[in-house]
Structure 1
Amino acid sequence: MQTRPSRREALLEAAARIVRRDGYEALSLDAVAAEAGLSKGGLLYHFPSKEALVAALVEQLVESFETAHADAAAAGPPGPGAWSRAYVRATLDRPGEEDAVSVAILAAVAMNPALLQPLRQRYSAWNEALRRDGLPGVDAWVVRLAVDGLWLSDLLGFEPPTGKIRSRVVARLLELAGGQP
């Protein structure tokens, strides 16, 4: 039996749907309440401002990625490049259309770049893990930056590779990360 999302989760999902479907300009507390089928008072109980709502979207994005990374790391072989391989998998194996919270980055940048601070802090920790990943030279950096670029290309619709070429790109990134495709 599938459980219903909490009201807070329903509001975050509604906000992500609005930004993805209608753009950041359409994101308002009234629109989110209507999209979620809740009163504005119910929304204000969870998110007293639009900034608080967007900050929660960014935090949800960070938590979701870290869970996916931990799962990918646990499923993969240990050794040099394990962190980078998990980064590839956690970022690129997630269905883009289903990961609606990723629009939080766009909303945060449009609203207030300071709202990205939790993501900046996590990137600092991720880069520390990257430095300890055991790959030669700058390979781990190349993998991380290429994966970030591919993710943004997907998110923004900037002609991301599809089909066989995408599979080949991902396989090459995994090879650079010291693993088998």
Structure 2
Amino acid sequence: MAKPRTRREDRPSVILDAAESLIRRAGTRTLTIDAVAAEAGLSKGGVLHHFSSKEALITAMAERKLKEVKEGIAKLEAEQVPGPSALPLALIAHARQVYAEEEGFPRAFLLASAENPEAFAGFNVFLRERLAGLEKIETCPGIGAALVFSTLGLLITRTLGFHSMEGAQLERLFDGLEKVARCVTEGEIPPEACGTP
């Protein structure tokens, strides 16, 4: 029985799903336009109509994934008490949610995107804007950014396989990051520790 035809407006999403599926199964080496076309049940020309190159496909995958990440962080940030800890707490909460998800895809995605730095341009802007806003309201300059990058570092090093913390050890780490974030907001860090009188 023949596969049902994909509607034209759904094709970009189907192509991106196929590319992600390939990367999950066999890594970035298998990511070719021909392989994606076969996986999506489309012709090579059908894929190239929407994505002119492998690089364009990787960029679109990154944009889609990072859009999900940005929306998740923004939603969690809106749930926090406004102030300097809102962004760090949102990132920590997001990291808790995604830490153990999608074993194969993030590593391959990160490596594929590293070949194409433009793929992260949108996330770079998002992060830069958030950090600039954080800098304006921090009472202890640099702590919020340190928490943000500590959390991102935790996720990236896990994605690259440098560690795989689980259970109580991981919970203690996330709890510790949250405590520092809350201390900054609640004024528990004395001003002299921040280098301000």
Do Structure 1 and Structure 2 share a fold, with TM-score over 0.5? yes
Q: Does 1:109 align with 2:103?
A: no
Deviates more, 1:116-125 or 1:169-178: 116-125
Q: Per-residue CA shift, 1:146-181, capped at 9, x if unaligned?
A: 1111111221222121111111111111111117xx
Structure 1: runs of 5 or more not aligned: none
1:7 is aligned, of 6, 11, 14, to 11
Aligned residues: 175
Counting aligned pairs with the same residue, the percent is 31
Gaps of 5+ in 2: 1-8, 184-197
Give the one of 157, 163, 167 matched to 2:161: 157
Between 72-81 and 53-62, the greater mean CA deviation after superposition: 72-81
**Equivalent residue for 1:46, pick from 27, 34, 50:** 50
TM-score, normalised to structure 1's length?
Answer: 0.82
User: What's the counterpart of residue 62 of structure 2?
Assistant: 58
- Structure whose alpha-carbon radius of gyration is higher: 2
Mean Cα deviation higher: 161-170 or 29-38: 29-38
Q: Is the 8 A contact 2:63 2:119 kept in 1?
A: no
1:24 equivalent among 3, 7, 28: 28
Amino acid in the other structure paired with 1:56: A
Structure 1 vs Structure 2 CA RMSD: 2.6
Give the residue type in structure 1 aligned to 2:122.
P
Normalised by the length of structure 2, the TM-score is 0.76
Displacement of 1:37? 2.5
